[in-house]
Structure 1
Amino acid sequence: MKTVLITGASSGIGKETAKLFRDKGFQVIATSRRVENMVDLEEIGCFVLSMDVTKEVSIENAFQKIFSKTKQIDILVNNAGYCQNGFVEELTMENLHYQFDVNVFGLIRVTQKVLPLMRKNRNGRIINIGSVGGDFTSAGASAYHASKYALESFSDGLRQELAPFGIQVVLVKPGGVETDFLNHSKVFYPEPLEGNPYGKMRTNFGKMIDSILNSSNSAFPILKPKVVAEIIVQSSVLNKPKSRIRIGRTAKIMPVMKRLLSDQAFDKMILNQLGLLK
């Protein structure tokens, strides 16, 4: 029986992925800061435990428990992440550090913990959950996009470094997904500056997300978490998976638009969506 470790498994893509792996007979280790939200996973046979990827002590404690249970991790799904919104002028260093701690540094640390086992076995697969947000940047979400750009580069380097050991690295890049992540993207803002000069963007950003979530004929339809989970599981069993897997219309169209449009034209499109053009 193969063992899969999933971070950020308390909701959305992570939870659906854990369920699907378990349905297919895998031993599933599901981790999250919120263990109370994984009771349903425990009931179907997943091994659930608390792990905050931003805290070294939490990671160490979690892996002590993991290694006491198994000496084999075949698949790592790095799913934990969130979106820090706000204009650069508004963001505190704490905001920026935490964004990268969750989306980049925590992911790297968890990956480092599983690599000795995978190298020893000369086999393994690491699936990083990236985003179409690693292909373009939107005003008001620079920190999030920067973290996803960083994940693109990290995944490329990791893939090259681990190839001689038989370890494969896959970057899964969905478009918008119907999860708490997307809903939270309307509210994760720092305190506004005096006079709230960026208030219009916040308002229009919220309206844009509401429109995407509630429209049945959006040009960029929202994906169901289960759809993404199915592709994650598929990519874990293919002999030669793609290094990048784009899921949904948004993930496929946006990179093309970014490549074909000039920076000025692309900026105009983004600013128009946010109602910021004068």
Structure 2
Amino acid sequence: MKNIIVTGTSRGIGLESVKIFAAMGYQVLAISRKISTELSTLENVHCLSVDLTKEDDLKQVCEFIEQRWAGKVDILVNNAGKLINKPFEELTKEDFLEVYNVNVFGVVGLVQVCIPFMSVNSHVVTISSMGGVQGAMKFGGLAAYSSSKGAVSILSELLAEEYKDRGISFNVIALGAVQTEMLEEAFPGYQAPLMPEEMAEYICDFALNGNKYFNGKVLQASSTTP
């Protein structure tokens, strides 16, 4: 029985990922600021209202792992994300901090909480974007978002090296276009070829099995641009 944490579970890919893991019989901790009523009815899913930018909220996660899961985490899927779409000259320091607090520092904080409870074969999967991949096509207005996704990719590569002797794997999936609310915010009217539940299937399978084949890698899951 695996214990799996997923963030950003109130909608989209995160919501669908929790449903898939739960249907497979795994214990899932669904973390988001807003709790999905759809998930709260599932027997082996526990929902926590957590703001990843707040240390006191992260303590709730630590307490849950210690008390409910006997100090054991097998998989962490860092899916929560924040996007601000503005011309670069209009972006403020506060805009950058708002994005980085969720996309970078939120990931850092939660990984630091979970690491003491992870052991050999544990897997940390961070959901990134093609916009954060060096050499991939970039789009105006997404300077804060795309640069934050590049940051967590490098972070994951580094952590894979730092924790390889403990058998903990870190990988990144850089997503292309998926028909989510976040995509609509970035590219209004664009129709993506994939729905959230389809990408969630790929992510769940990779989270369960990908660490057998990869560590410290940024894998591109994109068939279109954006």
Within the candidate set 247, 252, 271, 2:221 is matched to: 247
2:4 touches 2:26 (CA, 8 Å); kept in 1?
yes
In 2, the alpha carbon distance for the partners of 1:102 and 1:83 equals: 9
In 2, the alpha carbon distance for the partners of 1:15 and 1:23 equals: 13
Unaligned runs of 5+ in 1: 186-207, 214-220, 255-278
Moved over 4 A (4+): none
Within the candidate set 123, 126, 129, 1:125 is matched to: 123
1:130 touches 1:173 (CA, 8 Å); kept in 2?
yes
Deviates more, 1:106-115 or 1:169-178: 169-178
**Counting helix residues as a fraction of each chain, which structure ranks higher?**
1
What letter is aligned with 1:50?
Answer: S
Within the candidate set 188, 193, 206, 1:209 is matched to: 188
Check 1:5–1:39 CA distance in 2 against 1; reply closer, same or farther (3 A cut).
same
**Alignment deviations for residues 91-124 of structure 1 (CA, whole Å, 9 cap, x no partner):** 1211110110010011111001000111xx3331
2:86 touches 2:142 (CA, 8 Å); kept in 1?
yes
**Alignment deviations for residues 50-75 of structure 1 (CA, whole Å, 9 cap, x no partner):** 11111111111333234221121100
Secondary structure of 2:88's partner? coil
Question: Aligned Cα RMSD in Å?
Answer: 1.7
Tell me the CA shift for residue 183 of structure 1: 2.1
Partner of 1:141: 142
Query: If you compute each CA radius of gyration, which structure gives the higher value, 1 or 2?
Result: 1
**Alignment deviations for residues 203-257 of structure 1 (CA, whole Å, 9 cap, x no partner):** xxxxx531x22xxxxxxx4321112111111112225233333223137xx8xxx
1:31 touches 1:48 (CA, 8 Å); kept in 2?
yes
Secondary structure of 2:163's partner? helix
Task: Indicate the percent of aligned positions where both proteins have the same amino acid.
Answer: 34
Unaligned runs of 5+ in 2: none
Q: Structure 2-normalised TM-score?
A: 0.90
In 2, the alpha carbon distance for the partners of 1:151 and 1:62 equals: 21
What letter is aligned with 2:222?
Answer: G
Equivalent pairs counted in the alignment come to 218
Mapping of 1:111-260 within 5 angstroms? 111-118=111-118, 121-135=119-133, 136=136, 137-185=138-186, 209-210=188-189, 212-213=190-191, 221-238=192-209, 240-242=212-214, 243-250=217-224
Tell me the CA shift for residue 170 of structure 1: 1.6
In 2, the alpha carbon distance for the partners of 1:75 and 1:83 equals: 25
Q: Structure 1-normalised TM-score?
A: 0.74
2:62 touches 2:114 (CA, 8 Å); kept in 1?
no
What letter is aligned with 1:159?
Answer: A
Secondary structure of 1:130's partner? strand
In 2, the alpha carbon distance for the partners of 1:222 and 1:23 equals: 25
Secondary structure of 1:249's partner? coil
